[in-house]
Structure 1
Amino acid sequence: MTASAGKPCLRILGTRGVPAAHGGFETFAEYLARHLVSKGWRVIVYCQEDGEGPIFTDVWEGIERVRIPVSAGGPRGTIIFDWKATVHAARSKELCLTLGYNTAVFCTLLRVKGIPNVINMDGIEWKRQKWGTVAKFWFWANDWAGCWLGNHLVADNPGIKDHLLTRVGEKKITMIPYGADRLSSMPEEPVLALGLEPGRYWTVIARPEPENSILEIVSAFSRHPRGAKLAVLGKYEPERNAYHRAIMDAASDEVVFLGAIYDAPIVKALRFHSEGYIHGHQVGGTNPSLVEAMGAGNAIVAHGNKFNQWVAGESVAYFNCEEDLDHILGGLIGSVESIEKIKSVVACRYNKEFTWGVVLGEYEIMLQRFS
């Protein structure tokens, strides 16, 4: 559908909003919205606000924002926000892009009203170990609901496309991965301020959950002196979480826990000056953290599942257990030739598939079919 002024129009649902401050989908929403606005689109992004009060609107960087206050926190607050955003979007007849399927059942309202809705189906959330039975059923049911209710589906990885093909036909799916900035330089000061030496540390940037292999990574790194640091980003609460406690207990004095850092320039500097990045995600599609490490020019060591193998490509080091990773790190750390070889392969792979120019261009072409 088109806006009254004749511009193609898109409403983006499913994120906490723009500017990005909370994760991969928010970053993608910001980049896509900016790109489409520059191409003459009218873009409306739904934004979750903390607190109470009526829905209000404003404009940021040419992007219209529908700001919805929600007093509840956590998953409950997200569900309330998603419902209110869907109800608001259903008042128009304009194309919607829903990022994630966690509340896909709400898309029934858009379907009934004949509003075109493209759904990015994200990862296979119901397979994550952290969820209990009720939560897993909720995500599984919404996975199915998204497949049925979306007019079109986006898979960010061939492995996700294979999963969706068990439920819908191939014509209903477009495979477009996640993108990342190419970092050509970043200041050293943020790295030095954290007590790290540029080029003398590896990074792990992930939620501390079992399916992200954090315990295996820290344990493997700590088996022997490495002559380098392992910088671990994420919120760790060892006094409340047994898994977090196990990770920290397994760490040698070469492992540095930096906490949760949401300041984008600091995170980018940490990535850029890192010798390499260890990616332990076992579940999901194209993970933003992996692509961002590739864009930063890092050597990549990743868990050897099909999702990561498609993203990082051949000639990258893959592990499936703690012993594998220990062996890989022993041969890589300090080996300039081996690290540079991996960096070269990673750079070629990134330039081919994951620059924002490629990704956003593919999204625009796909969305034009429904606008």
Structure 2
Amino acid sequence: MKKNRLLILGTRGIPGKHGGFETFAERLALYLVDRGWNVTVYCQADSKKFPGAEVYYSVWQGINLVHIPVPKNNSLWSILFDLKAVLHAINREGIVLTLGYNTAIFSLLYRLRKRVNITNMDGMEWWRKKWNFLEKAWLYTNERCAIWFSDCLIADHPHIKHYLRQEIKTSKPIVVIPYSAQIVTQADKKLLNKYNLVSRKYLLVIARPEPENSILEIVKAFSKRQRNLPLVILGNYSPENSYHREVLQFASEEVMFLGAIYNQEIVESLRYYARLYVHGHQVGGTNPSLIEALSAGSPVLAHGNSFNSWVAGEGAAYFKDEVDCDQQLTQILNNEVNLATMKQSSLARYYEEFADDRDLKAHEDLFLKQLGKKLDNKANQAEPIKLVETKSKSIN
């Protein structure tokens, strides 16, 4: 029996080490391979490690990896990587799943080849503060290209679907599939010893160090007064970056920068034993890190916007700005009863919407539906059956 085939593009590759899309691509690929699919994931590689190579291949846990080397890890070379990945993918069988629309203009090639292309719209990317005018224009254009050239759109949050329907006025099929995560019922407390952390005696932030993630506001709010417990921040901060430098400058001695940690067991333990998880994302859909905090039963203090409030629910606490964040921290951290209630609310919201890897099943159902449509279209395009007219005999 021929296997169903899926090609995943739009990430830097797996195993996931860079962000939410990479983590999701890994989860989805492993899930589908286990269910008999042939899955290929395109991976951005360092050309210095593979001089002269245009592309090379490997297999990881049953997943086909296509490695495309580029000289540098920056936006321009990532665009070239995406183009090379698309040019490679159009010559291979399978449904195409594109995670993000940053280079959706290349999806025109799928349309010309009549390939099934499904795009995860990844929030309103061009709204982010970090982009300059030209970068925003590029992303805005590609958002429209994703809508024009995709067969179906995935929104990971109801607000994104509303935006696509009401503001862009697209009639394209849109399926809302929020991210899910596995429940965390226990974690290795000994892993905290490496960082001199004590269970329930620290706050945690896991986010890319970018302005729209409110890192500076959180650090300034936390550092306004002595808290008698550390604020632990994951992510790479370089003094050469002006925003990173400002964050480091305003951090009190109680702020701990642990760098980027890719060991999932350690990250899981940090989430599970945190006294409070602080989530500052201002733009985007259903952020996987916030879902994982809910799955670990972490009390959540999040930036107050429609994205976060739908995900974390009414049981979480929210802040508007630096001053409000300081007030919320002061009220929450020493209130054991409130923290226990927030913890239960996180778990309840997790079970209500994000449990049991239901996003993976929803994706497979969508792919099978698209395969069914493709087969129907082929049947409709086939040469019509010629009916032979026959005369009926009368019976006297």
TM range (shorter): over 0.9
In the aligned structure 2, how far is the partner of 1:57 from the partner of 1:74? 23
Instruction: Look up the match of 1:230.
Output: 231
In the aligned structure 1, how far is the partner of 2:96 from the partner of 2:246? 43
Instruction: Look up the match of 1:117.
Output: 117
- Worse overlay, 15-24 or 136-145: 15-24
Instruction: Look up the match of 1:44.
Output: 40
Task: Give the partner amino acid of 1:103.
Answer: T
Per-residue deviation, 1:168 = 4.7
- Worse overlay, 61-70 or 82-91: 61-70
- Worse overlay, 242-251 or 24-33: 242-251
Per-residue deviation, 1:100 = 0.6
Aligned with residue 30 of structure 1, among 26, 39, 56: 26
TM-score by length of 2: 0.89
Instruction: Look up the match of 1:184.
Output: 185
Does structure 1 retain, via aligned residues, the 8 Å contact 2:214–2:280? yes
SS in structure 2 of the partner of residue 369 of structure 1? helix
What are the equivalent positions in structure 2 for 1:85-96 lying under 5 Å apart? 85-96=85-96
Q: Extract unaligned runs of 5+ from structure 1.
A: none
Instruction: Look up the match of 1:148.
Output: 148
Instruction: Look up the match of 1:347.
Output: 347
- Worse overlay, 269-278 or 160-169: 160-169
Q: Extract unaligned runs of 5+ from structure 2.
A: 372-396
Higher Cα Rg: structure 1 or 2? 2
Spell out, residue by residue over 1:4-46, the C-alpha distance to the aligned partner (whole angstroms, 9 max, x if none). Answer: x522211111112222122111111111111111222111111
In the aligned structure 1, how far is the partner of 2:348 from the partner of 2:234? 27
Instruction: Look up the match of 2:389.
Output: none
Per-residue deviation, 1:130 = 0.9
Instruction: Look up the match of 2:276.
Output: 276
Does structure 2 retain, via aligned residues, the 8 Å contact 1:192–1:198? no
In the aligned structure 2, how far is the partner of 1:196 from the partner of 1:118? 43
In the aligned structure 1, how far is the partner of 2:241 from the partner of 2:172? 44
Identity, % of aligned positions: 46
Task: Give the partner amino acid of 1:224.
Answer: R
TM-score by length of 1: 0.95
Per-residue deviation, 1:222 = 1.5
Larger RCO: 1 or 2 (CA < 8 Å, sep 6+): 1
Is 1:17 the counterpart of 2:18? The answer is no
What are the equivalent positions in structure 2 for 1:253-332 lying under 5 Å apart? 253-332=253-332
Instruction: Look up the match of 2:336.
Output: 336
Per-residue deviation, 1:124 = 1.3
Per-residue deviation, 1:58 = 2.6
Q: Which runs of 4+ in 1 moved over 3 A?
A: 168-171
Instruction: Look up the match of 2:385.
Output: none
Task: Give the partner amino acid of 1:178.
Answer: Y
Does structure 2 retain, via aligned residues, the 8 Å contact 1:353–1:359? no
SS in structure 2 of the partner of residue 226 of structure 1? coil
Does structure 2 retain, via aligned residues, the 8 Å contact 1:220–1:323? yes
In the aligned structure 1, how far is the partner of 2:4 from the partner of 2:242? 50
SS in structure 2 of the partner of residue 370 of structure 1? helix
Does structure 1 retain, via aligned residues, the 8 Å contact 2:205–2:279? yes
Per-residue deviation, 1:244 = 2.2
Give me the CA root mean square deviation: 1.5
Task: Give the partner amino acid of 1:352.
Answer: E
In the aligned structure 2, how far is the partner of 1:24 from the partner of 1:177? 12
